[in-house]
Amino acid sequence: MQNRRSAAAYDSSSLWSLMLAHPRAVLVALCLLMYLPGLTALPPLDRDESRFTQATKQMIETGDFIEIRFQEEPRNKKPVGIHWMQAITAGWLTAEPHNAIWAYRLPSVIAGILATLLLFGLGRRLFDDEVALISAGLMASSLLLVGEAHIAKTDAVLLACVVGAQYLVAQFFMASRQGAEQPKLRYSALLGLAMGLGILVKGPMILFFVGLSVFALSFWERRWAWIMSMRPFFGLGIVILLNVPWLVAIGLVTSGAYFKEAIGLDFLGKVAGSAEGHWGPPGYYLVSLLVGFWPAWLFLAPGVIYALARLREGAVRFLVAWVVPAWIILELLPTKLPHYPLPLYPALALLCGAAVMAGVRESRGFLDNIWVKLGTLLWVMVAIALTGALVMFLPSTYGTGSGVVLWVLAVPIIVAAGAAVFFLLRGEGENASMATIVSGALFAAVAMAVVAPGLQQLLVSVRSADLIAKAGAAPNAVVVAGYHEPSLVFLVGTKIRLAGSGADAADFLTKTPNAVALVEDSYVADFQQYLTRNNFSADAINSVSGINYSKGGRQVTLTLYKLRKTGP
């Protein structure tokens, strides 16, 4: 197929040229368009996000920034880095009771933007500005990163650390391959900083992604000396300075329990078996790309073909070594969660961007290969399915139904997706990539700002917290039986009591002045029997019904009770 790139693409006044003139401003604006909508409207999510934010909130409340706790229970699973970041944003930007969820999400938003800008820098080092801009836009608009940028946990921050570290590793690798001068000391210092922060946020995972790619590159090229050019012992010193003080402190505070649980139970438990029931077969992450890496994977088949044709090139080898070994290991591990391969998405995005520009510059048609044709057809089907789920399925199943507004908002998404395929067929790579990114950005904005906050059936904790607030009960006078989701603890307050049975909830209600009890339907009989046996009775104030998505989508009904007054 002949290249039909229009003359406008070469015109200095074209949109593409204007974007290339201010690439970082364009990328920041794109990220803000996708990561800010819904940041305040989306409620605290169960269970990981609310566990993280509740533990951070308790640090702010108590002033103890060493030990990580959820209520009275130690959280000896992840390091403290993300909690310190959240404590800064939530502590500075919110007032008591510090339960404004958006403030805890700001580190993830900032990390998503930083990861995008760092990927642009890496793309420039390995390829050029055009490839870098396309690749950064594709990664930024991927649904998995959009989701993680809206969630107050570790994965967006880990991504930024990994991309930053790989950007610096690429400096040393490409310099050694090209016979150039060894990068300056500051590059080694920044590499140590990126690795140290990554460890402080999510333990050894950054060592897995970055270290494995370094080993794979060295083994592939039978060159090991370039590793020493990175000044690894100097970088290790920075890692130690960043992590050892807190590790010593937490070891002393918990008498070593942190290391036993974080390493022995959490990390090694996920390696040896399917932790917390999160099992998946090999190929799970390949299938998850259909949603997680949408819409960027429109160019994935061209990217793979491009990589196979240029395996001798240093930039391609760097990216393949980043992706392939880690991906294989993740697929073989029994514990599977959709966000685990997120640190590999930047390399995929760079291969996609490089393939786009190679097709433009070398007059190669994108659809000359059967796999590209099949991939494009599958992409169209997934785009239709995702838009249908956004406009019809989700609002109808978990909300109040889809209305005219949603259909109107869906039109630009469909038009942009159609334009992406149209330009792809014409071989106009920049236009196809821009339309693809726009379709993802519009989808993200509508999903996060309009659809997700309107799924009332899933907002059980928010509606329950509203009931409790209207009842005027203080957090230490609230007991809950049968619904122990962390989001409710975060919204109501640290001192809320989670009862193990209906009888325990009733006992608390009878012994605590001005108390209220939130009781799930299956616990009501036990709750009422205890009250009757002890000559008490309670009035139902109001109830909430919905779906507990953390319990496999189980329907729940929660009723708020207050002890009935006796006497005159």
Neighbours of 124 (CB within 10 A): 18
Report yes or no on 283 lying in a domain: yes
pLDDT in the model for residue 270: 58
Report yes or no on 568 lying in a domain: no
Neighbours of 538 (CB within 10 A): 21
Write the CATH number for 519.
Answer: 3.40.190
Q: Same domain for 427 and 471?
A: no
554 beta partners: 548
Report yes or no on 2 lying in a domain: no
Helix (H, G, I), strand (E, B) or coil at 64: coil
- Pick the last residue of a domain from 401, 427, 452: 452
Phi-psi region of 277 (alpha: psi -120 to 50; beta: other; left: phi over 0): left
pLDDT in the model for residue 266: 65
pLDDT in the model for residue 383: 95
Half-sphere exposure at residue 406, Cβ-oriented, CA atoms within 13 angstroms: 22
Q: Same domain for 481 and 428?
A: no
Q: Same domain for 442 and 480?
A: no
pLDDT in the model for residue 367: 61
pLDDT in the model for residue 4: 40
Q: Which residues contact 509 (CB under 8 A, 6 or more apart)?
A: 479, 515, 516, 517, 531, 536, 538, 561, 562, 563
Q: Which long-range contacts (CB under 8 A, 24 or more apart) does 220-226 make?
A: 220/317, 220/321, 221/177, 221/317, 223/176, 225/176, 226/172, 226/173, 226/176, 226/177
Q: Same domain for 448 and 519?
A: no
Half-sphere exposure at residue 426, Cβ-oriented, CA atoms within 13 angstroms: 14
Q: Same domain for 123 and 38?
A: yes
> In 3D, which of 365, 367, 306 has the Cα closest to residue 126?
306
Q: Same domain for 426 and 407?
A: yes
Q: Same domain for 407 and 536?
A: no
Per-residue pLDDT 10s for the chain (568 aa) are 334 444 334 444 478 888 999 999 999 999 999 999 999 999 999 999 999 999 999 999 999 999 999 999 999 888 999 999 999 999 999 999 999 999 999 999 999 999 999 999 999 999 999 999 999 999 999 999 999 999 999 999 999 999 999 999 999 999 999 989 999 999 999 999 999 999 999 999 999 999 999 999 999 999 999 999 999 999 999 999 999 999 999 999 999 889 888 876 666 655 555 455 566 789 999 999 999 999 999 999 999 999 999 999 999 999 999 999 999 999 999 888 999 999 999 999 999 999 999 988 886 665 677 888 899 999 999 999 999 999 999 999 999 887 888 999 999 999 999 999 999 888 888 899 999 999 999 999 999 999 999 999 999 999 999 999 999 999 999 999 999 999 999 999 999 999 999 999 999 999 999 999 999 999 999 999 999 999 999 999 999 999 999 888 899 999 999 998 764 4
Report yes or no on 334 lying in a domain: yes
Q: Which residues contact 307 (CB under 8 A, 6 or more apart)?
A: 316, 319, 320, 351
Contact 30, 22 (CB under 8 A): no
Q: pTM for the full model?
A: 0.93
- Buried/exposed code over 191-213 (b: 16+ C-beta within 10 A; e: otherwise): bbbbbbbbbbbbbebbebbbebb
Q: Same domain for 183 and 245?
A: yes
| Interatomic CA distance for residues 434 and 30, integer angstroms | 11
542 beta partners: 560
User: Could you tell me the maximum CA-CA distance found in the chain, to the nearest angstrom?
Assistant: 93
- Pick the last residue of a domain from 424, 452, 480: 452
Tell me the residue range of the domain where 508 lies: 459-563
Q: Do the bridges between strand 497-499 and strand 516-520 make them parallel or antiparallel, or are there none, so unpaired?
A: unpaired
- Pick the last residue of a domain from 420, 452, 484: 452
Q: Same domain for 438 and 506?
A: no
* Helix or strand (DSSP H, E) at 373: helix 370-388
* Residue with tokens 């160019």, as numbered in its chain: 299
Q: Same domain for 448 and 522?
A: no
| Interatomic CA distance for residues 467 and 475, integer angstroms | 13
Counting the structural domains of the chain, the total is: 2
Check residue 279 and report its DSSP letter. B
Report yes or no on 1 lying in a domain: no
pLDDT in the model for residue 552: 82
pLDDT in the model for residue 234: 97
| Interatomic CA distance for residues 458 and 9, integer angstroms | 46
Q: Same domain for 404 and 487?
A: no
Contact 353, 131 (CB under 8 A): yes
Report yes or no on 184 lying in a domain: yes
Q: Same domain for 488 and 407?
A: no
Report yes or no on 42 lying in a domain: yes
pLDDT in the model for residue 9: 43
Q: Is the dihedral of CA 476, 478, 483, 487 positive or negative?
A: negative
| Interatomic CA distance for residues 197 and 117, integer angstroms | 18
Check residue 368 and report its DSSP letter. S
Report yes or no on 26 lying in a domain: yes
